[in-house]
Structure 1
Amino acid sequence: MIVVNTDYITGKKLETLSLVKGSTVMSKHIGKDIMSGFKTIVGGEITAYKDMMDEAREIANKRMLEEAEKLNSDGIINVRYTTSAIMQGASEILVYGTAVKFIEE
């Protein structure tokens, strides 16, 4: 499956199928949350949260791909990611795009 953040796929004529999306809400356990709080005092990358967000993007992306596969799509165009804080230490990742089918010419 081809996944792009543009509104076209070079060399392909496309038929729009549907909006597809995937999301997840993730948090870290209290111990890592406290340790990350200390990190904000001295500065630097907070790896516990970076790892959490990497995992969340991977899960959300997988869910979007599964939704597109159910439509028998050949690709997803206009892919966008968004994130929001649900509460302290918990974030939602949403990924969405347009599932497309390739048209033979």
Structure 2
Amino acid sequence: MSKDILIVTTENIPGQQYEVIGEVFGLTTQSKNVFKNIGASLKNVVGGEIKAYTKMLDKSREIAIDRLRSEAEKVGGDAVVMMRFDSGSIGSDMQSVAAYGTAVKFVDNQN
């Protein structure tokens, strides 16, 4: 089992001192099947939330965070600070999601 990697959107973690390791990313690209795309197109005519795409983006964020956590672990990190998301469309039916931040290693300040 992989170790628990703390992920925060803040620059500082209260009560922790750390050294910066470097930038880490978690990426995924997802697509809905043709039937869900047809349903989304029909929903586009009448308006409202397209739940299939919302669900896809939710799942994409989870995958991106899992991959970010794995990348931080690979470089010896204990946490990721300043985590952010970025997303964009690829073509008309694919969505790419990136989670990124700075991997850090906790340091012991006791002398």
TM interval, shorter chain, is: over 0.9
Q: CA RMSD in A?
A: 0.9
Q: Structure 1: which 5+ runs fail to align?
A: none
Shift of 1:42: 1.6
* Residue from 19, 34, 37 that aligns with 2:38: 34
Number of the residue aligned with 2:90: 86
* Residue from 66, 70, 73 that aligns with 1:69: 73
Number of the residue aligned with 1:95: 99
Rounded to whole Å, the distance in 1 between the matches of 2:34 and 2:64 is 23
| 3-state SS, counterpart of residue 56 of structure 2 | helix
**In the TM superposition, what are the counterparts of 1:3-42 in structure 2 within 5 Å?**
3-42=7-46
Rounded to whole Å, the distance in 2 between the matches of 1:22 and 1:14 is 21
Shift of 1:77: 0.2
Number of the residue aligned with 2:54: 50
1:52-71 C-alpha deviation (Å, 9 max, x unpaired): 11111111111110011112
Could you tell me which amino acid in structure 2 is paired with residue 104 of structure 1?
D
Provide TM-score, normalisation by structure 2: 0.90
Q: What is the aligned-residue identity percentage?
A: 39
Aligned residues: 105
Runs of 4+ in 1 over 2 A off after TM superposition: none
Q: Structure 2: which 5+ runs fail to align?
A: none
| 3-state SS, counterpart of residue 9 of structure 1 | coil
